[in-house]
Chain A
């Protein structure tokens, strides 16, 4: 009886270790590959997705695929403000605090979208 318990505990421990290892490597992979959920694509005078929901502390990257330059500017024009991004240029911002951040293109102000930070 004691031996079986021992084995079960060892098995459980091994599983926990394995799970932790997998979780660890997954985190490293996502940081390196910048998965689509943390990116906003600019094209055809619009931001996609129009609403991006992310956890606090996330770095979001915008990439401009349009053939005209755009900017990424928070509605208050202070929280974040990119330089003009020509085609294929990028801008990143880390959202530390939760909240809803509406932003727009200061060159073409009809272009609007938001990041919801939870």
Chain B
């Protein structure tokens, strides 16, 4: 594998980003900071509520938004109204300076894979200012029927448990399923058939083409005790080793987390339904109850910009409140 340094080269900005700038950047995400990762160099632009310091967010040639973990149907104290917060996420997307070309939903669309729950999400997404939505399933979407309904609704043209790829504006997108055939005591799993497909799929893609991989469970080991990882992701990442820019977008953990390893940027998005505790900070990864006025600060969406000629993608997390 190429360099496994986790450190990021930094670029001093007048707002005083230092070597921990990346982490500070992530802490600012709730207030709408824009972190632009550009060829391994991080620059940050602190953004006030109305962008009052006048800094222009770099416009990409391709803009899309990642949403995740809507858990339609959840109704426990951590968030008794996931419909309202999902609608708030769509409203937030509709208020973006640049309308996203499409949305990526990284799974747990529903809470229990019930038809009404899927219906609800599709209904609300009709009001999104975008032309299409791409999905990958979460484990909650596989409850009861191993994803059959999910594939019928969202998986046209996909293979196996629902994997697929497509190209947009010179970027190669790959949707993977790591929530099928989960084994007792195991983590997420891609399986031999999907890995074989992936190897063939990227074989003829030029190394200079940016690749975006999206899947529900993180493709790096965030916290194995809580199942936050994928057993056979190393093999998948091996097929992507030669690419100059790989962005991995995941959900499942209901909090933003980011890691850079050589040419690969891993990013997890917030949920639009409920937050979960930081790894090991609670006895279990269940829904985390917070005071009502804090809830929306811990939910969010992720905007991604791609500018042609710049291999790395710019990732911005913003909270709902």
Tell which of A6-14, A30-38, A100-108 binds the partner: A100-108
- Given A67-B77, A109-B227, verify A46-B284 contact (CB < 8 Å): yes
Task: Find out whether the CB atom of B184 lies under 8 angstroms from the CB atom of A112.
Answer: yes
Give the chain A neighbours of B284 by CB distance below 8 A.
Answer: 44-46
Interface residues of A in 82-106 (CB under 8 A from B): 83-84, 86-87, 102-104, 106
Q: How far is the CA of A106 from the CA of B145 in the complex (A)?
A: 12
Q: How far is the CA of A112 from the CA of B112 in the complex (A)?
A: 21
Task: Find out whether the CB atom of A44 lies under 8 angstroms from the CB atom of B286.
Answer: yes
Tell which of B136-144, B164-172, B235-243 binds the partner: B136-144
Task: Find out whether the CB atom of B184 lies under 8 angstroms from the CB atom of A103.
Answer: yes
Which of chain A's residues has its CB closest to B224's CB?
A: A110
Which of chain A's residues has its CB closest to B285's CB?
A: A45
B183 within 8 A of A: yes
Task: Find out whether the CB atom of B184 lies under 8 angstroms from the CB atom of A109.
Answer: yes
Shortest beta-carbon distance from A72 to chain B in Å: 12
Task: Find out whether the CB atom of A109 lies under 8 angstroms from the CB atom of B185.
Answer: yes
Give the chain B neighbours of A46 by CB distance below 8 A.
Answer: 284
B124 within 8 A of A: no
Q: How far is the CA of A68 from the CA of B77 in the complex (A)?
A: 11
A59 within 8 A of B: no
- Bin the interface of chain B by size: 20 to 34
Give the chain A neighbours of B283 by CB distance below 8 A.
Answer: 44-45
Task: Find out whether the CB atom of A68 lies under 8 angstroms from the CB atom of B143.
Answer: no
Shortest beta-carbon distance from A30 to chain B in Å: 31
Task: Find out whether the CB atom of B227 lies under 8 angstroms from the CB atom of A110.
Answer: yes
Task: Find out whether the CB atom of B185 lies under 8 angstroms from the CB atom of A67.
Answer: no
Give the chain B neighbours of A102 by CB distance below 8 A.
Answer: 184
Shortest beta-carbon distance from B144 to chain A in Å: 6
Task: Find out whether the CB atom of A68 lies under 8 angstroms from the CB atom of B184.
Answer: no
B182 within 8 A of A: yes
Which of chain A's residues has its CB closest to B139's CB?
A: A107
Q: How far is the CA of A107 from the CA of B182 in the complex (A)?
A: 8
B225 within 8 A of A: yes
Interface residues of B in 67-84 (CB under 8 A from A): 76-78
Give the chain A neighbours of B184 by CB distance below 8 A.
Answer: 73, 75, 102-104, 109, 112
Q: How far is the CA of A107 from the CA of B179 in the complex (A)?
A: 9
Task: Find out whether the CB atom of A67 lies under 8 angstroms from the CB atom of B76.
Answer: yes
B226 within 8 A of A: yes
B105 within 8 A of A: no
Q: Which one of B140, B144, B187 lies within 8 Å of A83 (CB-CB)?
A: B144
Shortest beta-carbon distance from B223 to chain A in Å: 10
Task: Find out whether the CB atom of B185 lies under 8 angstroms from the CB atom of A112.
Answer: yes
- Given A84-B143, A108-B139, verify A68-B182 contact (CB < 8 Å): no
Task: Find out whether the CB atom of A45 lies under 8 angstroms from the CB atom of B286.
Answer: yes
Which of chain A's residues has its CB closest to B286's CB?
A: A68
Shortest beta-carbon distance from B229 to chain A in Å: 10
Task: Find out whether the CB atom of A84 lies under 8 angstroms from the CB atom of B186.
Answer: no
Task: Find out whether the CB atom of B182 lies under 8 angstroms from the CB atom of A109.
Answer: yes
Q: Which one of B111, B112, B140, B185 lies within 8 Å of A110 (CB-CB)?
A: B185
Shortest beta-carbon distance from B27 to chain A in Å: 27
Q: Which one of A68, A84, A104, A110 lies within 8 Å of B225 (CB-CB)?
A: A110
Interface residues of A in 1-47 (CB under 8 A from B): 44-46
Which of chain B's residues has its CB closest to A110's CB?
A: B227
B287 within 8 A of A: yes
Give the chain A neighbours of B287 by CB distance below 8 A.
Answer: 67-68
A-B contact pairs, 19 of them (CB 8 A): A44-B284, A44-B286, A45-B283, A45-B284, A45-B285, A66-B286, A67-B286, A68-B286, A69-B111, A69-B140, A69-B143, A84-B112, A86-B112, A103-B184, A106-B182, A107-B140, A109-B227, A110-B227, A112-B184
Q: Which B residues contact A (CB, under 8 angstroms)?
A: 76-78, 111-112, 139-140, 143-144, 182-187, 225-227, 283-287
* Nearest 5 A/B pairs, CB to CB: A45-B284, A104-B184, A110-B227, A67-B76, A44-B284
6 further A-B contacts with Cβ under 8 Å, apart from A45-B285, A107-B143, are A45-B284, A71-B143, A75-B184, A109-B182, A110-B187, A110-B226
